[in-house]
Amino acid sequence: MRIDIITIFPEMFVGPFTESIIKRAVEKKIVDIHTHNLRDYSTDRHKRVDDYPFAAGAGMVMMVEPVDNCISKLKSEREYDEVIYMSPDGELLNQSMANTMSMLNNIIVLCGHYKGIDERIRKYLITKEISIGDYVLSGGELGAAVLVDSLVRLIPGALGDETSALSDSFQDGLVSPPVYTRPRNYKGWQVPDVLISGNDRLINEWKYEQALARTKERRPEMYEIFKKNENV
Ligand code: SAH
């Protein structure tokens, strides 16, 4: 998978993309991530990428031309499955979207700033708009980093233990059961006996019951959907 990120703050991705799972995925050539500084595509001699909004109003607006220049250049080099704009009013990112998108070949992710981007970019250049939650960030970079992380860890080979993404929360419509590690007893805080029983059937039953109970308690709306689908 190739991911091209268009941003005015490429440095913001240095941390998120140079550590942990994404770092390893890049090294293993599972994913190829490129950041493009939007200012390099400005034709203005001050490298401006924003301007005042028409009809007054507060805040600056990102201009069409630099974004169009950058996207056009990328599109002339390869085909893209999606040109994504990170936006608070976009489709809410969830695990099933991440699953679907992790199978794409090439995507562009545009990070907005200020008051947002000129609506014509959204109308003529963007194919998908994604939000990471119902709150407003100062820029699309943190959202893009969240999106990229959620996709990359699902690409086969990215996680050390290939099955581990499948047992994560949301993959099967439930949140994850609790997990424990050694020691069995810490200051009298015990690990549930069943997990040490060695009985796989009992252990799997326990995990399922726990996942079910947690989902019911923490995510009642998700539990209702699960119940309907599985006839629990
Ligand atoms: N005026 C806009 C917010 C602009 S915030 C509005 O009210 O909708 C500046 C930029 O941050 C946006 O262009 C977008 O790229 C990014 N952003 C803000 N909140 C986001 C969210 N919840 N999810 C994804 N991107 C977000």
pLDDT at res. 161: 76
Give me the mean pLDDT over the 167-172 stretch.
89
Kindly tell me the burial class for residue 78, based on how many C-beta atoms sit within 10 Å of its own C-beta (0-12, 13-18, 19 or more): exposed
Distance (Å) from CA 52 to ligand 1 centroid: 17
Q: How confident is the model at residue 226 (pLDDT cuts 50, 70, 90)?
A: very high
pLDDT at res. 167: 85
Structure tokens at 106: 């090439």
- Please work out whether the CB of residue 115 comes within 6 Å of at least one atom of ligand 1: yes
Kindly tell me the burial class for residue 167, based on how many C-beta atoms sit within 10 Å of its own C-beta (0-12, 13-18, 19 or more): middle
Integer Cα distance of 49 and 64 in angstroms:
8
36 close to 67: Cβ distance less than 8 angstroms:
no
pLDDT at res. 71: 98
Give percent of the chain with pLDDT exceeding 90: 92
Q: How confident is the model at residue 166 (pLDDT cuts 50, 70, 90)?
A: confident
Q: Which residues contact 196 (CB under 8 A, 6 or more apart)?
A: 184
pLDDT at res. 42: 98
31 close to 147: Cβ distance less than 8 angstroms:
no
Distance (Å) from CA 48 to ligand 1 centroid: 20
Q: Which residues contact 68 (CB under 8 A, 6 or more apart)?
A: 121, 125
SS3 133: coil
Residues in the chain, overall count? 232
pLDDT at res. 87: 98
Residue 85 clears pLDDT 80, i.e. is over it = yes
pLDDT at res. 182: 97
**Per-residue pLDDT tens over the stretch 101-143:** 999 999 999 999 999 999 999 999 999 999 999 999 999 999 9
Buried b or exposed e, range 105-137, using 16+ CB within 10 angstroms: ebbbbbbbbbebbbeebbeebbebebbbeeeeb
- Please work out whether the CB of residue 113 comes within 6 Å of at least one atom of ligand 1: yes
Structure tokens at 191: 């690990």
Number of other CB atoms surrounding residue 226 within 10 Å: 18
Q: Are strands 82-92 and 128-131 parallel, antiparallel or unpaired?
A: parallel
Structure tokens at 42: 């400005």
Distance (Å) from CA 144 to ligand 1 centroid: 11
**Per-residue pLDDT tens over the stretch 56-70:** 889 999 999 999 999
Distance (Å) from CA 200 to ligand 1 centroid: 47
Residue 228 clears pLDDT 70, i.e. is over it = yes
pLDDT at res. 11: 98
Higher-pLDDT residue of 168 and 187 is 187
- Please work out whether the CB of residue 67 comes within 6 Å of at least one atom of ligand 1: no
24 close to 158: Cβ distance less than 8 angstroms:
yes
pLDDT at res. 162: 63
pLDDT at res. 164: 81
pLDDT at res. 192: 98
Residue 227 clears pLDDT 80, i.e. is over it = yes
Q: Under the phi-then-psi rule, with left for phi > 0, alpha for psi from -120 to 50, and beta for the rest, what region is 204?
A: alpha
